[in-house]
Each structure stands twice: as structure tokens, then as C-alpha cells.
Homo-oligomer: A and B are copies of this chain.
């Protein structure tokens, strides 16, 4: 059992120095999001995370969710916590006021999201999906649909779910088979979806499922997929709830972790009258759904960050308390706490440096998202959107892979106690392991980055992003030279993959994962170096600055050293993947 303390100072630091919060507050419509307001919001969120969410994280893991008489019941404390989130207006944070929102930046929303995820990942994945559903409906819904459902979703009074996966259609959604047959003003949905996160629960009085399905004459593949809104309870024209729709959770998965998040098999139309309403254009469902997915992908990246921060705190507390052994370099034979052992300290610094790198990446991405949504000029919006397009798969995959690694390091610091479930470190490790898988596996993210996102503009947005990063770091930084080399390597590898794609897309696919690692590692280097430099320019204390410099030096001497390794793999590694005959595996 462990506590969580929201790292307010670190969050503020990243908001100020990496996300450039001041400039976010100058964006049209966000003028009220001054640093003072933002910091006040953070303090309130911290209380909720520390007191409400963290306290039910371990008990939720032990209890899990239940499926009783066709209805999911969440773990003890879930209902109370969810109500606190809704009552506090937290769900509505990033949405415009005219649809019931708080009109706050995504940058702040994701900073608060870090606290939710760190304190209770099983709980916090639910609101992520409702956020996505609200975004989706705001963008693609009809006026009537918005009138009936949107404000409820925005405020979290109702929840939203994402129903994509079927047994034979996971990464390849083109293979999905769920049917939607027109009948009057609606469609009748039949089919089964799997891995539906919070597919059912007892937290909200209604659940709005967004379901991908095919109409009878739809073309094969992804071009025949449409999107449907399927309420758990039908909604009358006055907004009141009508009868229950023909959709139900069939079973819950028994998972490695995230036990308190109900993962449902959902059955639509068992009795032939599951009513769904088309959202957006026929056969354009996947594009609409991607709004929801991109939102969720960034938030899954936040999960990687959050669980890593949580694991770091837990390991640090343990390392400070656990007395074992003595200082090898000293005559003093008094036992010391293990935080003093250089190898343990190395592990903690590795966790911490990576947490800071991830936080920088996520908050920066969110800041670009705010710019892409709020800037007045369309060309500027498009410019920053191109950053978001790169940073979404990067954040999702890089931060979730690191989330697992950091949670694993945290477990290791506990020694034998780490393997005992009671300690809590094992739960973080188990929970963290879903994030590289869901909302598009990290392999899919890497392909998206190295193939689609590079190829569409010949890597221009990567070069633009690098130029932006170079603009935001002083030339007198101790890290300028190695960072310049790393940027050059990233540019070079980008050009290499852009040139390679037309002749050999499979070779690019084989290099996609190392490319994503390279990209993330270099970005992390910028975060650490820029952070240290930016802090130096803003009059912090000497001890504070020394720590910033030291953590950056740690990252540059432990993580950035691998940049050339990834580059070598990108350049030389695809051939070995290609030439190996599959039959010989």
C-alpha cells in the first residue's frame, strides 16, 4: 500500500519551461488560463488525486470489477470518486463553454490527467474515453445528437465508450463484421465487440457507446466502416431516459493488471433490437473515430508518465527507509539506507530522468495541441497540427514503453519485497503493461510515425519540429554540442527512411521501432537540456540549478548515449529482418 504525492513543483516546472504555459495563456479563448489560475487548479486536482483516487488504487486492484446479473459493478469507492470528479467539473475542463465545458487548455487537462493516472490508472482510463467521446461527438455529431448527448458527455454525467475491436479485427479494423441495418431514423446493430474498456459500469446513469459497424451494402475493408452512437438507455427527446437498449456486457476479462477497470465483451442486438444512430457520413466511420483515438492515444502516453512517476515515488520512499549495507567508500560501518548505494541511486536517477523526459514530451505535445486548436491563423494551426500528428504516436509509444521499464526498475529497487503483491510495486508493473498495447499497439504507433507521418510530407514536419527545438535552447548550454549531433542524427535517419519508403516500405516498417526510440530519446534530451537551460535563465536557487544540470547530465550520459545505436540499427538493421526466412523462425 502506497501513497501518492502530486509532484506539483515538477509539474509546474515542465508547464513553465517546456510547455511554455505563458504563451498558451495568450492563445485566443484561453486568456483566462493564467499561470495563477492554472496553479490553483493543479493544487485542487492534487488534493483529489492524493486523497480520493490514490486511496482506492490498491483495494481496487484486489477487488476488481464484478459482472452481476448483466450489470458491471465497480470496486468499492469507485462511485464516490467518480462523483467527486464530476461534481468538481473536472471532466469538462478542456471543452468550450457553449457545450458545458470549462474552456481550459489541453495542456492543463493533461497535467491534471497525469495526477489521475498516477494515483489510480484503473480508475482514470474511464474518463479518458469519455473525453474522447465528447470530442468525437462535438466534431462529427448532428445538432440533434449534440443537443441530446454532448453536454452530458462533456460533464461526465454520462460516460462514453469506444467499440472497435472484434475477435478477428484488432489492429486491422477493416476486418470487422458488426452489422448496422437501417430501420426508420436509426439502425439496428448486431455483433460482438471485445476489450471494451468500461463497456459497462455503475458510475453513470447512462453510457453512450460509439460503435464501428458495417451497413449491408458497405464496401469491404476500412472504406466500408461507419460509426454509430448506441446508448445503453435510449434517450427521449426531452433528454430523459427511456427503455434499456439491446446491448449488454457478456463477460469481463481476467487481466494481468488494471483489475478495477472493467474490460468487457459487449454484445449488441442479441434480441434484434439494438438501436444505433449514425454519426457522421456513411463509410467514413474510421476517420471520425480517429478523433477519439488520437485524443486517447495522448492520454495513454500520460498513463506511461503517470505510472512511472508513481513507481518512482514508491521506490524512492522505499530506498530512503530501507536500511541495508554500508557505504563502500567509507570507514564508517554504520548501516545506511539503500538510497546511498550508487547502483540504487543510479536506478532512481534513471527513473527520474525518464519521468522528466516523458513529462516534457507530453506537456509539449499538449501545448502544440492547444496551439493547433486555438491559433487564429489557419496556416499556423496546420503547422502545429503537423507537430501534434508526430507527437501523438511518439508520446503514446515512447512513454508507455518507458512506463513499463520505469515500473520494472521501481520493483527491482524493492528487492524481494517488490515481488510481493502487498508492497504495491508489482501492481504498478502489472498496470503499466497494458499501455503499450491498447489504443493501437506501440508497433502500430511506430509504423504510423515512420511510414504515414514521415511520408506524407517527406519528413518536413520533423525538420520543422527540430528547428523549433533548436530555437528554444540557448547556445551556451553545456548540452548544445551533443544535442546538435543528436538532432543531425535524427534528421539524417528521417531522410533515410523517407528515401527508402518508395522502394521498400517493409524495410521502413522493420526500422520503425528503432526510429521511434531514436526520436523519443532525442526529444527527451532536448527536454532535459532545455529545462536546465531555461531554469538557469529564471533565477532559481543554486542548489536547484545544480540538480537540473545533474539530472540532464545523467540523461545525456545514460540515455542519449544510445542515439547512435538506434541510428545504426535504422540504417543497417532492416536487411537482417528481411533476409531471415520466416519458416526458419
Contact = CB atoms under 8 A, between A and B. Distances in A.
Interface stretch (A92-100, A143-151, A364-372, A433-441): A433-441
A253 B505 CA distance: 50
Given A349-B585, A547-B584, A582-B339, A416 B568 contact: no
A328 B512 CA distance: 14
Nearest to A447: B343
Interface in A241-256: 253-256
Chain A interface size, as a band, is 35 or more
A477 interface: no
Contacts of A325: 171-172
Interface in A432-460: 433-434, 436-438, 441-443, 446-447, 451
B561 A170 contact: no
A553 interface: yes
Given A254-B421, A324-B175, A569-B558, A577 B416 contact: no
Interface string A547-560: 10011011011100
A441 B420 CA distance: 15
B580 A551 contact: yes
Nearest to A436: B412
A342 interface: yes
B171 A415 contact: yes
A571 to B, nearest CB: 9
Given A415-B441, A433-B419, A443-B344, A339 B585 contact: yes
A504 interface: yes
Nearest to A450: B343
B420 A254 contact: yes
A396 interface: no
Contacts of A569: 557-558, 561
Given A342-B506, A512-B343, A437 B422 contact: no
Interface in A5-59: none
A257 B575 CA distance: 38
Contacts of A582: 339-340, 345
A564 interface: yes
17 contacts: A169-B324, A172-B326, A175-B335, A328-B506, A329-B506, A342-B509, A342-B510, A343-B510, A343-B512, A345-B510, A345-B580, A349-B585, A416-B437, A514-B558, A551-B576, A561-B566, A561-B573
Interface of A: 165, 168-172, 175, 194-195, 221, 253-257, 316, 323-329, 333, 335, 339-349, 352, 404, 408, 411-412, 415-416, 418-422, 426, 429-430, 433-434, 436-438, 441-443, 446-447, 451, 504-507, 509-510, 512-514, 543, 546-547, 550-551, 553-554, 556-558, 561-562, 564-566, 568-569, 572-582, 584-585
